[in-house]
């Protein structure tokens, strides 16, 4: 096919995948269903451009990983009507899914698959309710899947051909992935070890040392840059880390057991598949084993890392976000490899196929049994119709924003305490006069002077009492919408 | 003016040296606008004066606006330079344009069909390495009746002449005593060598070189299978003593990145190639057409690469290596670096005497490449210390003046250059090591910013020398290498 034809094919592929995500996303947004992470990125981006008196570049996700907000800043340049903000994340998701389809198609073709097979596999990836849901909601997970797909390709390509460019791409994409979810740092270790092992087999210790350093250097530089940015701008090099985990629950022994069981169940299928693959195919090319080792090492180390940290950011739900991206990208690449081998006439790779089947079946079983209550994907038809997973109903936030708009007189300011208060602030449309506190409790240090307090009551602790104490005042309840309760602080009369 | 010595300014009324009939002055005689006999043309001098006056006036009238504008221009230059170098190397990683000839193809070359070869080896104060260069050249796989080796000794270098007399020379090796004269430079000796060379192809090797045995055959194969406009095949240069000390490690990382990644990227884009000092294989007829090397230019190799491109000829990189001795002594390294920077500046100034003509001759991409590679590299060396000092000053004292130099957009761009640019250049050194399989050098490549400091020192020394002694050739001493096994 000529260059122009290939360009047209790529453009069409991108457009079809993007349109699909956009359609599902718009249907969901019409029903006031939003992916909170996606919306959060857009609100952060709006903060960058529109928070008066000056653009707040420093707002770029010092708590939330910054990359989704940075990319969302493109759609946040024009000022959007508050009631339309929820339609913006699907735009980004559409972009991510379109690119994922393009990249995957290219990779699959590179594996020697014929065009019909490549279309079929790409369609299977794009139409997977998990990925489609993430993209339709504009979730950073869709971006993460794209980055991980590229990273896995880079590593596989490096292991196959020794391409330094592929190694550099893998490192940069993992670095970018880190800036979408900090927990991905737990994957760096197993990948580095795998690279070391492969390199050492090829050329001894010095080759392992040089290659691992070359892989880690971009990552380390990226991380160091982020830490330096936190230090110079926020005054605390570990600001992002502290605040990411500040609101996550202390890991009790019960919580640890639960998390370990959830993560193990999620990791188990990959472990089984990897064992099958590795044990049954000693003479296989190292690249395949490498992919599997990656899938195996990641979740296990993630669990171990979480235990060491003593905290989980957001519990198993968030772990699934990282694991699912890896599973989607890795699983489909493995399928492409197996099919590619078959198409080239080297026969079906039974081990790869069985590993994939085991992983897929195991993953489904694990999700079913753990019943994580995450609104996991429904069927494809429902997903396309906008019944997408990983979303929450934002009617309450919209209603609270509308009441807040009525309540605030010109010049007055409100504290919105509790998650997802950013949605209320965004829907209210005046980011300049709201102060967000991620938990219902008052922050330490200086308590902001405030005319109105909007608290989410169903989150931890007695928010009302904490705020009364902090403000040294009594709170007069104005109204309640869903879980959100609005108060006006009234100073207590001092006795003469 | 003493015949043959160079000067900073070339004035139209200046008469050519008395000995202008000599072979090394052909370029000055036939293409004076391409010769570094006078570094600056009268037009350049006028432009420079006008620019300086204008700059002075602007500084007096609007000091801050002028300095901020200069700062912005410098940062925009950095951005272009970073992007350009990264693009070339990244492209090279994907698809190297180095020409690799498989041994099977070489074995099909019949001796009677091979072109005749002339090998020039300029020697000056190289008595100690005469046996090794003779051995290395004797080991080259090429029919003895098809190649001649010219060992070029300077008339006043009696020590090397004695060593050559004492050495039993193999068949086809000849000694040419280069007549006394100025400037006493390597290109001058090569010009005398070109005069007596009879080969259809010609290559220059340095005294300490050890080319791979099949290099001549590879080059011959390339020329036999390429169109006439291919005038030069440059072999990769690398070092046989990379692990001797930290300086040789850094130097090796730099050379690996330059010859294995950057130059192949440049030839892939069809840009003018600043040739390496040795192991450049030419069609002799083209060299004669271009009047040989410029004896007044202290990086005659770089200059010749640009002139080839200007005349419509092309250069390729070949996948064969010549092993050299990395300079392991700091002062000697600084002298060598000063000469390179001085020569690059000479080359840049010579070829920008007629900027529009140069643009027409090189084409826009080639013109851009020339400025980025030849002028840009030197400018980087010179600007770096300034920006390091500014960064240090800002981090330690937060002076208001520094903040004022960087309005928000310039600040953002500057920060980008600082963060991304430094990484890109360090990583290029790392990639060079990996490409050459010098895995154990990777950790030293990470420390290359220290090496950049030395480069800047050398650059400032080179600039000062350009003003005082433009064509003075600072000899690089050899023979200090500790032998190591090749990788």
DSSP class per residue in B74-128: HHHHHHHHHHHHHHHHHHHHHS---B---HHHHHT--GGGSPPEEEEEEESS-GG
Say if B413 is an interface residue toward chain A (CB within 8 Å): no
Q: Is the pLDDT reported for residue B375 higher than 80?
A: yes
Q: Give the DSSP per-residue string, B421-487.
A: IHHHHHHHHHHHHHHTT-GGGHHHHTTHHHHHHHHHHHHHHHHHHHHH-TT--PPPP---PPP----
Contacts 24+ apart (CB under 8 A), B171-175: B171/B144, B172/B144, B172/B145, B172/B147, B172/B148, B173/B134, B173/B137, B173/B138, B173/B148, B173/B149, B174/B148, B174/B149, B174/B150, B175/B150, B175/B151
Distance in angstroms (rounded) separating the CA atoms of residues B154 and B475: 13
B125 and B160 in contact (C-beta within 8 Å)?
A: yes
Q: What confidence score (pLDDT) does residue B3 get?
A: 38
Interface contact flag, B446 A164, Cβ < 8 Å: no
Interface contact flag, A211 B434, Cβ < 8 Å: yes
Q: Which residues of A touch B431 (CB under 8 A)?
A: 164, 168, 214
Q: Which residues of B touch A213 (CB under 8 A)?
A: 430, 442-443, 446
B141 band by pLDDT with thresholds 50, 70 and 90: very high
Q: What confidence score (pLDDT) does residue A15 get?
A: 97
Interface contact flag, B439 A217, Cβ < 8 Å: no
Q: What confidence score (pLDDT) does residue A60 get?
A: 52
Q: Which residues of A touch B433 (CB under 8 A)?
A: 210
Structure tokens at A309: 């940290």
Q: Which residues of A touch B90 (CB under 8 A)?
A: 165, 168
Q: Which residues of B touch A208 (CB under 8 A)?
A: 439
- CA proximity to B188, closest of B362, B314, B27: B27
- CA proximity to B265, closest of B343, B369, B367: B369
Interval B386-395 mean pLDDT: 93
Query: Could you say which of A168, A203, A213 has the minimum Cβ distance to residue B442?
Result: A213
Say if B87 is an interface residue toward chain A (CB within 8 Å): no
Q: Is the pLDDT reported for residue B441 higher than 80?
A: yes
Mutate to test the interface with A, among B86, B403, B439 (most CBs of A within 10 A): B439
Distance in angstroms (rounded) separating the CA atoms of residues A73 and B76: 24
Interface contact flag, A213 B446, Cβ < 8 Å: yes
Interface contact flag, B419 A217, Cβ < 8 Å: no
What is the tens place of the pLDDT at every residue in A58-117?
A: 455 555 778 888 898 888 888 888 888 899 999 999 999 999 999 999 988 887 788 998
In a domain, B253, yes or no: yes
Please state whether A262 falls in left (phi above 0), alpha (psi between -120 and 50) or beta: alpha
Q: For the domain that residue B134 is a member of, what is the CATH number? A: 3.90.550.10
Distance in angstroms (rounded) separating the CA atoms of residues B403 and A361: 60
Sheet with B280-283: list strands edge to edge.
B173-178, B147-154, B117-123, B201-204, B280-283, B230-239, B314-324, B210-211
**Domain membership of residue B296 as a residue range:** 62-487
Out of A131-140, B3-12, B407-416, which region has the weakest mean confidence (pLDDT)? B3-12
Say if B138 is an interface residue toward chain A (CB within 8 Å): no
Residue A53 CB-density burial (10 A; 0-12 exposed, 13-18 middle, 19+ buried)? exposed
A241 and A252 in contact (C-beta within 8 Å)?
A: no
Say if B411 is an interface residue toward chain A (CB within 8 Å): no
In a domain, B42, yes or no: no
Please state whether A339 falls in left (phi above 0), alpha (psi between -120 and 50) or beta: alpha
Q: Identify the residue whose tokens are 């100034």.
A: B349
Q: What confidence score (pLDDT) does residue A253 get?
A: 58
Of A2 and B136, more confident: B136
B31 band by pLDDT with thresholds 50, 70 and 90: confident
Interface confidence, given as ipTM, is 0.84
In a domain, B55, yes or no: no
Q: What confidence score (pLDDT) does residue A406 get?
A: 82
Distance of CA A399 to the CA centre of its chain: 27
Distance in angstroms (rounded) separating the CA atoms of residues A87 and A84: 6
SS3 B183: coil
Interval B45-51 mean pLDDT: 93
Distance in angstroms (rounded) separating the CA atoms of residues A422 and A62: 15
Structure tokens at B140: 């080259």
Q: What confidence score (pLDDT) does residue A83 get?
A: 82
- CA proximity to A389, closest of A92, A133, A179, A160: A133
In a domain, B140, yes or no: yes
Structure tokens at B400: 């208001």
A65 and A180 in contact (C-beta within 8 Å)?
A: yes
Interface contact flag, B439 A163, Cβ < 8 Å: no
Say if B64 is an interface residue toward chain A (CB within 8 Å): no
Of B387 and A153, more confident: B387
In a domain, B25, yes or no: no
Out of A33-47, A424-438, B223-237, B409-423, which region has the weakest mean confidence (pLDDT)? A424-438
The pLDDT > 70 percentage for chain B reads 93
Minimum distance, in Å, between the CA of residue B449 and any CA atom of chain A: 14
- CA proximity to A237, closest of A221, A248, A226, A245: A226
SS3 B200: coil
Q: Which residues of A touch B435 (CB under 8 A)?
A: 164
Distance in angstroms (rounded) separating the CA atoms of residues A151 and B406: 36
Distance in angstroms (rounded) separating the CA atoms of residues B218 and B278: 16
Minimum distance, in Å, between the CA of residue A412 and any CA atom of chain B: 31
SS3 A112: coil
Interface contact flag, A213 B438, Cβ < 8 Å: no
Interface contact flag, A214 B434, Cβ < 8 Å: yes
Interface contact flag, B443 A168, Cβ < 8 Å: no
Of A185 and B273, more confident: B273
B187 and B174 in contact (C-beta within 8 Å)?
A: no
Query: Could you say which of B90, B439, B443 has the minimum Cβ distance to residue A165?
Result: B90
Structure tokens at A243: 């605040």
Interval B458-486 mean pLDDT: 78
Of B195 and B18, more confident: B195
Of B95 and A18, more confident: A18
Minimum distance, in Å, between the CA of residue A225 and any CA atom of chain B: 8
Distance in angstroms (rounded) separating the CA atoms of residues A191 and A182: 16
Sorted by sequence, the CB contacts under 8 Å of residue B461 that are 6+ apart come out as: B334, B337, B338, B341
Residue of chain A whose Cα is closest to the Cα of B424: A218
Distance in angstroms (rounded) separating the CA atoms of residues A3 and A145: 28
In a domain, B5, yes or no: no
In chain A, DSSP finds a helix count (H) and a strand count (E) of: 18, 7
Q: What confidence score (pLDDT) does residue A69 get?
A: 86
**Number of folded domains that form chain B:** 1
Residues of chain A scoring pLDDT < 50: 53-55, 57-58, 279, 281-284, 307-317, 369-373, 495-496
Q: Is the pLDDT reported for residue B472 higher than 70?
A: yes
Distance in angstroms (rounded) separating the CA atoms of residues A180 and A61: 10
Interface contact flag, A164 B434, Cβ < 8 Å: yes
Q: Is the pLDDT reported for residue B14 higher than 50?
A: no
Q: What confidence score (pLDDT) does residue B4 get?
A: 41
DSSP state letter for A408: P
Q: What confidence score (pLDDT) does residue A308 get?
A: 46
Mutate to test the interface with B, among A165, A201, A216 (most CBs of B within 10 A): A165
Q: Which residues of A touch B423 (CB under 8 A)?
A: 218, 221
- CA proximity to B316, closest of B259, B363, B268, B278: B268
In a domain, B38, yes or no: no
Say if B429 is an interface residue toward chain A (CB within 8 Å): no
Q: Which residues of B touch A163 (CB under 8 A)?
A: 93
Say if B93 is an interface residue toward chain A (CB within 8 Å): yes
B13 band by pLDDT with thresholds 50, 70 and 90: very low
Query: Could you say which of A164, A207, A213 has the minimum Cβ distance to residue B435?
Result: A164
How long is chain A?
496
Say if B94 is an interface residue toward chain A (CB within 8 Å): yes
Q: How many residue pairs bridge chain A and chain B with CB atoms within 8 Å of each other?
A: 49
CA A295 vs CA A274, A482, B47: distances in Å = 8, 41, 64
Distance of CA B175 to the CA centre of its chain: 26
**Interface residues from chain A to B (CB-CB < 8 Å):** 163-165, 168, 203, 206-211, 213-214, 217-218, 221, 225
Q: What confidence score (pLDDT) does residue A40 get?
A: 87
In a domain, B378, yes or no: yes
Distance in angstroms (rounded) separating the CA atoms of residues B278 and B294: 15
Q: Is the pLDDT reported for residue B138 higher than 80?
A: yes
Minimum distance, in Å, between the CA of residue A240 and any CA atom of chain B: 19
């Amino acid at each position: 096919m000529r260059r122009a034809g290939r360009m047209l094919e790529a453009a069409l592929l991108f457009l079809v995948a993007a349109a699909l995500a956009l359609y599902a996303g718009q249907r969901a947004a019409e029903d006031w269903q939003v992916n909170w992470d996606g919306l959060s990125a857009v609100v952060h981006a709006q903060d960058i451009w529109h928070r008066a008196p000056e653009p707040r570049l420093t707002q770029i996700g010092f708590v939330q990983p910054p990359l989704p907000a940075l990319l969302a800043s493109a759609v946040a340049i024009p000022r959007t009507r508050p009631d339309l903000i929820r339609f913006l994340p699907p735009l980004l998701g559409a972009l991510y899914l379109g690119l994922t389809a393009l990249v995957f198609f290219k990779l699959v073709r590179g594996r020697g698959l014929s065009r019909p097979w490549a279309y079929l596999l790409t369609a299977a990836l794009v139409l997977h309710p998990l990925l489609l849901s993430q993209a339709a909601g504009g979730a950073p997970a869709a971006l993460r899947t794209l980055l991980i797909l590229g990273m896995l390709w880079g590593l596989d390509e490096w292991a196959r051909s020794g391409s330094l460019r592929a190694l550099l791409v893998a490192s940069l994409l993992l670095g970018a992935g880190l800036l979408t979810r900090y927990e991905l740092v737990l994957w760096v270790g197993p990948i580095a070890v795998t690279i070391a092992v492969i390199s050492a087999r090829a050329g001894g210790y010095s080759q392992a040392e040089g290659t691992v350093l070359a892989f880690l250097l971009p990552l380390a530089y990226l991380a160091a840059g982020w830490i330096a940015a936190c230090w110079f701008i926020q005054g605390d090099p570990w600001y992002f880390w502290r605040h990411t985990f500040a609101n996550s629950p202390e890991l009790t022994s019960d919580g640890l057991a639960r998390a370990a069981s959830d993560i193990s169940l999620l990791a188990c299928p990959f472990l089984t598949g990897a064992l099958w693959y590795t044990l049954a195919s000693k003479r296989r090319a190292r690249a395949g084993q490498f992919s599997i080792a990656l899938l195996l090492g990641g979740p296990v180390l993630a669990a171990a890392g979480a235990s060491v940290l003593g905290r989980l950011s957001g519990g198993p739900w968030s772990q699934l976000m990282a694991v699912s991206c890896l599973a989607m990208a890795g699983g489909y690449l493995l399928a492409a490899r197996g099919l590619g081998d078959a198409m080239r006439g080297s026969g079906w790779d039974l081990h790869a196929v069985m590993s994939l089947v085991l992983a897929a079946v195991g993953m489904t079983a694990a999700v079913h049994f753990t019943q994580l209550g995450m609104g996991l994907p429904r069927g494809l038809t429902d997903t396309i119709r906008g019944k997408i997973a990983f979303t929450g109903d934002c009617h309450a936030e919209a209603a609270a924003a509308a009441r807040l708009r009525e309540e605030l007189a010109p010049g007055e300011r409100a504290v919105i305490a509790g998650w997802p208060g950013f949605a209320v602030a965004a829907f209210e449309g005046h980011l300049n006069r709201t102060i967000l506190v991620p938990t219902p409790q008052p922050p330490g240090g200086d308590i902001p002077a405030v005319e109105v307090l909007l608290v989410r009551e169903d989150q931890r602790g007695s928010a009302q009492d904490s705020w009364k104490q902090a403000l040294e005042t009594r709170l007069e309840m104005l109204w309640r919408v869903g879980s959100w309760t609005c108060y006006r602080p009234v100073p207590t009369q001092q006795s003469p | 003016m003493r015949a043959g010595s160079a000067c900073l300014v070339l004035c139209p009324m200046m008469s050519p040296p008395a000995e202008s009939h000599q072979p090394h002055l052909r370029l000055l005689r036939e293409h004076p606008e391409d010769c570094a006999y006078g570094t600056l043309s009268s037009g350049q001098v006028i432009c420079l004066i006008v620019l300086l006056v204008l700059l002075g006036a602007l500084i007096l009238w609007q000091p801050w606006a002028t300095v901020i504008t200069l700062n912005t221009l410098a940062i925009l230059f950095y951005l272009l330079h970073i992007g350009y170098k990264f693009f070339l190397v990244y492209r090279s990683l994907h698809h190297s344009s180095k020409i690799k000839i498989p041994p099977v193809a070489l074995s099909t070359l019949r001796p009677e069909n091979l072109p005749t070869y002339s090998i020039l080896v300029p020697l000056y104060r190289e008595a100690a390495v005469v046996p090794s260069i003779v051995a290395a050249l004797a080991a080259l796989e090429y029919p003895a009746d098809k190649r001649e080796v010219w060992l070029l000794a300077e008339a006043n270098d009696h020590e090397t002449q004695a060593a050559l007399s004492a050495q039993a020379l193999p068949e086809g090796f000849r000694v040419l005593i280069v007549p006394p004269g100025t400037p006493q430079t390597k290109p001058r000796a090569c010009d005398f060598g070109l005069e007596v060379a009879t080969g259809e192809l010609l290559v220059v090797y340095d005294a300490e070189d050890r080319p791979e045995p099949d290099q001549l055959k590879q080059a011959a194969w390339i020329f036999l299978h390429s169109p006439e406009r291919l005038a030069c095949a440059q072999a990769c240069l690398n070092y046989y003593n990379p692990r001797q000390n930290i300086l040789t490690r850094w130097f090796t990382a730099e050379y690996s990145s330059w010859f294995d990644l950057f130059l192949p990227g440049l030839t892939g884009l069809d840009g003018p190639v600043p040739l390496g000092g040795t192991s450049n294989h030419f069609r002799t007829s083209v060299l004669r057409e271009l009047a040989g090397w410029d004896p007044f230019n202290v990086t005659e190799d770089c200059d010749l690469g640009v002139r080839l491109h200007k005349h419509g000829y092309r250069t390729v990189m070949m996948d064969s290596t010549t092993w050299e001795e990395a300079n392991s002594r700091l002062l000697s390294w600084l002298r060598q670096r000063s000469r390179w920077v001085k020569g690059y500046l000479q080359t840049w100034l010579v070829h920008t005497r007629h900027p529009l003509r140069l643009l027409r001759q090189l084409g826009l991409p080639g013109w851009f490449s020339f400025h980025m590679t030849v002028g840009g590299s030197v400018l980087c060396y010179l600007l770096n210390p300034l920006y390091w000092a500014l960064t240090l000053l800002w981090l330690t004292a937060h002076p208001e003046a520094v903040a004022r130099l960087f309005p928000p957009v310039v600040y953002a761009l500057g920060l980008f250059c600082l963060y991304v640019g430094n990484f890109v250049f360090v990583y290029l050194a790392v990639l060079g090591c990996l490409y050459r399989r010098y895995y154990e050098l990777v950790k030293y490549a990470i420390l290359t910013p220290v090496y950049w400091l030395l480069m800047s020192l050398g650059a400032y020394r080179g600039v000062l020398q350009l003003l005082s002694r433009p064509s003075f050739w600072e000899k690089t001493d050899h023979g200090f290498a500790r032998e190591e096994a090749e990788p």
